[in-house]
Structures are given as structure tokens and as C-alpha cells.
Structure 1
Amino acid sequence: MNTLTTSPVITLLETLHRNAETSDRELMETMMARFNAPETSAEQVMAELLAQERADYRSVYHDYADNFLAVSPRYGQFLYMMTRACKARRVVEFGTSMGISTIYLATALRDNGGGQLIGSEMERTKVAQARANLDAAGLADLVDIREGDALETLRDIDGPVDLLLLDGAFSLYLPVLKLIEPRLAPGAAIFGENAFDPDYIAYLNNPANGYLSQTLPLDEGRGNGFAVRVG
């Protein structure tokens, strides 16, 4: 069974991806101009963004309240494939936004025979839109979207967690990972979209912490990372 290619899921995803592209075009153009400016480097831009988030990530994230900040269709399909391959039954998503990535993950859970996806999202309007999108896709029964700061909303999770997607404030990737870490199942998959935080990368690359990690050759330039819990 591949619910991803059936209605209403496929039609809804096509619409949401079009809306996301339109909504985020100006933001993406502005970001690319910063990355490509001759007087700076991508590393400098990311360092500035991380510094801003560490100072006040709630305020920074609120600035993107109207933006989808969504995964690409290719990355979404990859998440679906990996969730199926892992035979995941419990998934945690940090940064639900409008629910596009959530649909890919929840569809895979449906095709795995069921399960639970726990998501966290700070922006109330995004939570409402994500819930509406999941309802339209017929997947709402599989998903619990928790409104608020992930460092609070994701404290109470029953284990084991088979797959973790980090796709929110960059500066919180490591704190959220450490929060979920005690509940990660052996062999759990961890995906970091735009995983540019050097502290997060260093933590995954330290064998003492129990992970194997590498950068994914998907959506080049977005720093998508993949790790497996092996320790």
C-alpha cells in the first residue's frame, strides 16, 4: 500500500507545495542573496543566524509565522521512504509548521499499519493550519501536534521513538535531540533539515555519544543531515 500516491493526499501535497513556494519565494531570494554576497560566506551567514536564535529563538521564529519553511517534495518523499524502511511506529517531529512534512511522515505510519506522530510547533496559527491539513488528508488520527516550546512540549513522550525529524529553530537541534535521546530506540533514525549548528554536528560525530552521522546528498546546500542511534 502506498497512500502517498492516492487522493486526497497527493492532491493536497501538490497544492501545499505550490502555496509554500509562493509564500516563501521572497524569503528564499533574500536568504540566497545573503549567502551569495561577495563580502561574506555561507558559514558567516549561518553563524549570524545561530547567534540571533541563541539570543532569542522565540522572537526569530515568530518572524517566520507566515512562511511555510517546508521540506521539498523530494525530501518529503525521502522521509516517507525512510519511515517505511524503519517500520517506524512512533515518530517525533520538531518544527511542524503548516504540516507538509507531517503529512509525509503520517502517511508512512498509515502504510506501516498505524502508529503515532508527535509534533511540536510554537506558532498558534501554524498549529491550526497543520491540523486542518492533516484532517483534510485523513491522517489526523495518527498525529498529536503540541503547541508551544519544544523543550517543554516534548518532555512527556512514551518511548521508544523510532524516528526523529529536527526542522525548527536551528539552535535547538542539539537540546531537542538530548531531550529525546533517552527514548530513542536502538537503530532510530535522526534527520536534521538545515543542520548547520556546529555544536549539533560535533555531538553526532563524537563516537562517545552513540551515533553514526553523515550529510545527505539531497537538496544540495541545505545541510540535510542523517544519523542513526547505534550506542
Structure 2
Amino acid sequence: MTKPDPFSVLTDSRVARVLRRLHEEADEQFFGLALHYLSKLPALLLGRKVALDDASALRSRYFADKFIALERPQGAFCHQTVRALRAKLVVEFGTSFGISTIWLAAAVRANGGGKVIGTEFVPEKAARAQKHIEEAGLADIVEIRVGDALETLRVLPGDVDMALIDGFPQKSVDVVKLLRPWLRTGAVVVADNVGVMKGDYRPYVDFMRDPRNGFTSMLIPFKSGTEYSVRTPANPDRTAEAKAV
């Protein structure tokens, strides 16, 4: 059986060309990243916390040129999810160099247009992501907000159809709590690296799988585990109150 091509879901050859190149650039960094995390392997295998916080990451120039991106099948899956939802507004926590942003924005454009709001803590990374997004011809679909997502995502232009959680793990629960009032019933939240960084994402997984928090959630088998969550009906009075804060 022929191995499926993740890029086959794309309808724009320009987007596909840019994504192929960016994924190849990310592949070239794999062994360097693996060596960098080698000392953390025992903690990863034991499900302990290993992630840097945002201040440490900003000081560490090692990560300044690192993609740390979705894998190709993950990107295609997120793209197809956006298409299935007929999403018009997508929010991304952790843009990095824009690979995932391009997958999402291409789907929003294929849906007839809308907006992808990305967030990036490091200004240099945001600038490079913007360049890649422009190269893919998607600048009119994407807005990148630079800084702490807990500040930059306080106000959104409407109900959110999908969110991608791919930033600093220790902020993931707070980001979802911030987004929750904006997530429409049936909205999807996808979180990367949940299986790789079990210790760092344990609070997030616990939160998303507690039905009292307004989601149903499960692990799907991308990159050792990606959390897939669906927004359940919310209390309209509490939602309106939260949006007004």
C-alpha cells in the first residue's frame, strides 16, 4: 500500500510548496534536538516535568532557531478538522515559525475566509513566522499577537471554532481557561506533545477530561499522544460574564 501523502489535503500548490520546505528544515533539526533532550530522557520516560518556562526559553538562545513544529500528519489532521468544522476563527497558542499556522490558515481560506490568530512569545520567531506566512500567500488570513498569550488573547473578535495548544505546557490550562468563554459549543481543542511531555501536560489532561470543565477529551495517536477535546454546551450567563472581564 502506498504511504499516504499528508500534503494531498491541500488545495493550494503554493501553500504545499512552502510547507514541504519548512517541514524539511524542521527535519534537519531533529537529531540536534534529540541530543539536547538526551539528558532529560529518563524524566520523559518516567512522566516527570521537563519543560522550560517562558522566561528561561527566552534567555536560551538554543531555541531561537528551532521549529519544534507539528509533524506532517498532525498538520494535515488539524487542517481537515478546520475544514470539517467550517471554521472561520481559529486560535493558536504557540506559533513558533508558522508551520502549524499555515496548515490552519490554508483550511480557513478553503472554507471561504476568516481569521487565524497566532501567539508567539519570542518576537524574532514571530517575525520569521510572518515571513513564512506571507510566502505562502496567507497574510490576509493570519494575525500574530506577540507576547504573553494570557494577555494577548484576552479579547477576540468572536466565537472560536478551533484552538491549537502548542506553547509552553505549564500555561496550557490557563490559556484554555481564558479561551473557554469564546469557544463555541462543538469547538475543537487540539494539544500537541501531550504524550511526549506527560508530566508537564498532566494538569492540562486532568482539566480537559473532567466533564465539569466543559469538555469531552481523549488521546489520539499522533507524536506519542495528542489530546483532542470538544467543547460541550456552556452556561450562557457565565460565558457572557467571562467574556466581559
How far residue 187 of structure 1 moved from its aligned partner, in angstroms, is 0.3
Give the RMSD, CA atoms, in angstroms: 1.8
Answer yes or no: is 1:15 the counterpart of 2:21: yes
Distance 2:232 2:226 in 1: 20
Q: Give the match's secondary structure for 1:140.
A: coil
Q: In 1, distance between residues paired with 2:221 and 2:127?
A: 33
Which residue of the partner structure matches residue 119 of structure 2? 120
Residue 62 of structure 1: CA displacement? Answer: 4.8
2:207 counterpart of 1:203? yes
Q: Which residue of 2 aligns with 1:225?
A: 227
Residue 87 of structure 2 corresponds to residue 59 of structure 1: no
When residues 103 and 150 of structure 1 are mapped into structure 2, their CA distance, relative to the original with a 3 A threshold, is same
In the aligned structure 2, how far is the partner of 1:141 from the partner of 1:10? Answer: 17
TM-score with structure 1 setting the length: 0.89
- 1:41, distance to aligned residue in structure 2 (A): 5.3
What is the letter of the counterpart of residue 232 of structure 2? V
Q: Give the Cα separation in 1 of the matches to 2:59 and 2:137.
A: 29
Give the gaps of 5 or more residues in structure 2.
Answer: 1-7, 234-245
With the length of structure 2 as denominator, give the TM-score of the two structures.
0.84
Structure 1, unmatched stretches of 5+, are none
**Superposed displacement of residue 65, structure 1:** 1.8
Q: Distance in 2 between matches of 1:203 and 1:22?
A: 35
Aligned partner of 2:32 among 26, 29, 32: 26
- Equivalent residue of 1:141, what SS? coil
* Residue 186 of structure 1: how far off its partner (Å): 0.5
Cα deviation 1:175-208 (Å, max 9, x = unaligned): 0000111110010000000133211111111111
| 2:145 counterpart SS class | strand
Kindly, what percent of the aligned residue pairs are identical?
38
- Report how far residue 214 of structure 1 moved: 0.4
Residue 89 of structure 1: aligned partner: 88
- Measured after TM superposition, the shift of residue 159 of structure 1 is 2.1
Between the aligned partners of 2:79 and 2:50, the Cα distance in structure 1 is 32
- Aligned residue identity for 1:13: L
Displacement of 1:158 in angstroms is 2.2
Note closer, same or farther for the CA distance 1:104–1:62 as it changes in structure 2 (3 Å cut): farther
Structure-2 separation of matches of 1:140 and 1:8 = 13
Instruction: Work out the CA distance in 2 between the residues paired with 1:154 and 1:143.
Output: 14
The answer (yes or no) to whether the contact 1:24–1:67 under 8 Å persists in 2 is no
Closer, same or farther: CA 226–32 of 1 in aligned 2, 3 Å? farther
Residues 103-159 of structure 1: CA deviation (Å, up to 9, x unaligned):
000000010000111010011111111111111111000000011111111111122
* Deviations, residues 66-95 of structure 1 (Å, cap 9, x unaligned): 210011111100110000011110000000
Structure-2 separation of matches of 1:95 and 1:128: 13
**Corresponding letter in the other structure for 1:172:** K
In the alignment of these two chains, the number of paired residues is: 219
> Which amino acid is 1:204 matched to?
M
Tell me what 1:111 maps to: 110
